[in-house]
């Protein structure tokens, strides 16, 4: 088993290699504007999962996924050459859900802000149901004390 530091370094290096390959060497016309967001390597360094996002619509995502699958062997070969490790990890490309998650979170934050603004509007015209200070206070001394 490799230590987590080595796996982390290898995943960072694989991310750099794959991003460079997609930018310079892969000339597939189906490949859209792809960004490699993360790479996770298993503890035994045998498998690497490459997470990516694609700028565009669903058709661009499908085309880019097909282009990455067809270029997987070339990319893995280059990863093996540039990392110099004994066993080159297998590569799996997974579409990252970061943009959809971010959009969902932004929508939830917008709804929460609207709800807070509505509560603030309702609070402006509100009045106390009873007295302003509902807590009992001791009776005021009138200065005469019985001893």
Residue 4 is encoded by which pair of tokens? 């987590």
Which pLDDT score, from 0 to 100, does residue 143 have?
A: 59
Which pLDDT score, from 0 to 100, does residue 114 have?
A: 92
CB distance 71 to 63 below 8 Å: no
The pLDDT of residue 50 is above 90: yes
More confident residue, 103 or 37: 37
Residue 91's SS3 state is strand
Task: Return the percentage of the chain with pLDDT > 70, whole number.
Answer: 93
More confident residue, 133 or 40: 40
Q: Which of 75, 70, 69, 57 is nearest to 20 (CA)?
A: 75
The pLDDT of residue 146 is above 60: no
Q: Which DSSP string do the residues of 2-59 spell out, in sequence order? A: --HHHHHHHHHHHHHHHHHHHHHT---TT--EEEEEEEEE-TTSSEEEEEEEEES-HH
Which pLDDT score, from 0 to 100, does residue 20 have?
A: 92
Which pLDDT score, from 0 to 100, does residue 1 have?
A: 47
Q: Which of 120, 121, 27 is nearest to 74 (CA)?
A: 27
- Read off the pLDDT of residues 117-143 as tens digits, 9 standing for 90 and up: 998 888 887 777 777 777 877 877 665
More confident residue, 140 or 14: 14
CB distance 95 to 52 below 8 Å: yes
């Amino acid at each position: 088993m490799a230590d987590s530091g080595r796996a982390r370094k290898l995943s960072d290096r694989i991310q750099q290699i794959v991003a460079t390959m997609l930018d310079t060497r892969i000339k597939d016309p189906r490949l859209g504007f792809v960004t490699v967001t993360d790479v996770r390597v298993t503890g035994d360094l045998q498998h690497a999962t490459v997470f990516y996002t694609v700028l565009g619509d669903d058709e661009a995502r499908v085309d880019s996924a097909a282009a990455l699958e067809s270029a997987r062997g070339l990319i893995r070969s280059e990863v093996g050459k540039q990392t110099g490790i004994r066993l080159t990890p297998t590569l799996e490309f997974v579409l990252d859900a970061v943009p959809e998650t971010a959009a969902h979170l932004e929508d939830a934050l917008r709804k929460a802000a609207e709800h807070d603004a509505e509560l603030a509007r309702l609070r402006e015209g509100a009045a106390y149901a009873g007295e302003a200070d509902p807590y009992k206070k001791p009776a005021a001394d009138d200065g005469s004390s019985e001893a």
